[in-house]
Amino acid sequence: MSASADRPHRRGGAFRPRRSDRAEQVLWWAAAVLTLAGILFSVAAGMAAHADGVSRSARESATRTPVDAVLLEETVPAGSARSGLRTTTRVPVRWIGPDRVEHTATALVPGRHQAGATMRIWVDRDDAVVAEPFTRTEATASAVLAVALLLTGVVVLLAAMRLATGWYLDVLRRAEWAREWSEVEPRWSGRVGGTPGPIEGEN
């Protein structure tokens, strides 16, 4: 493509940007706006996730109590011998509650333990076995993960837009160049007017 094809063309003595130039400006502005909006949305979502996690942590910490329970059976995690991963086993346990009443239930116990071993579990106000309360550290980690995932989505979306708009602009510019060349080439080659003439817009 010639250098003149990359410059704004002149009509009626005044230079005017091509349609592709105007489209490129609009698309770049749209990308900038979407980038800023994506960042702001990701940060806002992360803050909301953190606030929700902190609220959940406070709520669960206030209603769940740790107790030392005795395992009534040996724990045998499935597949732990092959993989070495820390898996859990649901086994019956027994503990004495704050009211000095003995309770029994089943709990998920990580790793391998013999019957009679003592294990820390969590119970709610109804003495039901529950999971360990959600912590503030987990709330922060969840918020950071949410922001990271959203920002990754923004980057992927912008990359897809860049590819699509680049293809569109290339098609548009080739069409404009072909149209302008069809107007200039006959005079430039001398096929019209007998002798080559200057290309409009060149010194």
In angstroms, the CA 110 to CA 135 distance is 19
Is residue 167 included in any domain, yes or no? yes
| Alpha-carbon span 181 to 203, nearest angstrom | 18
Tokens of 123: 């119970």
Same domain, 109 and 54: no
194 lies in some domain:
no
pLDDT at 3: 41
122 and 70, same structural domain? yes
Identify the three-state secondary structure at position 200.
coil
Asked if residue 156 is part of any domain, the answer here is: yes
Q: Which domain holds residue 50?
A: 18-58+138-180
Tokens of 124: 């709610």
* Measured distance CA(154)–CA(42) in Å, rounded: 9
Q: Is the CB of residue 176 less than 8 Å from the CB of residue 19?
A: yes
User: Does residue 112 register a pLDDT over 90?
Assistant: no
Identify whether residues 80 and 125 lie together within a single domain: yes
- Residue at token pair 């569109």: 168
Per-residue pLDDT at 93 exceeds 50:
yes
Candidate ranges 5-19, 77-91, 163-177; pick with highest mean pLDDT:
163-177
pLDDT at 63 over 60: yes
Please report, for residues 38, 74, 110, 139, 153, the alpha-carbon distance to residue 149 in angstroms, rounded to integers and kept in the order given: 11, 41, 30, 15, 6
Number of domains comprising the chain:
2
With respect to residue 201, please indicate whether it lies within any of the assigned structural domains.
Answer: no
Band (185; pLDDT cuts 50, 70, 90):
low
Beta bridge partners of 118: 70
Same domain, 144 and 124: no
Q: Which of 112, 132, 152 is the last residue of a domain?
A: 132
Per-chain mean pLDDT for the chain: 79
Same domain, 30 and 125: no
Within a domain: 5: no
Q: State whether 144 and 53 are in the same domain.
A: yes
Same domain, 100 and 145: no
Distance CA 201, CA 191 (A): 20
pLDDT tops 50 at residue 162: yes
Give yes or no: residues 35 and 80 share one domain: no
Residues 161, 124: one domain?
no
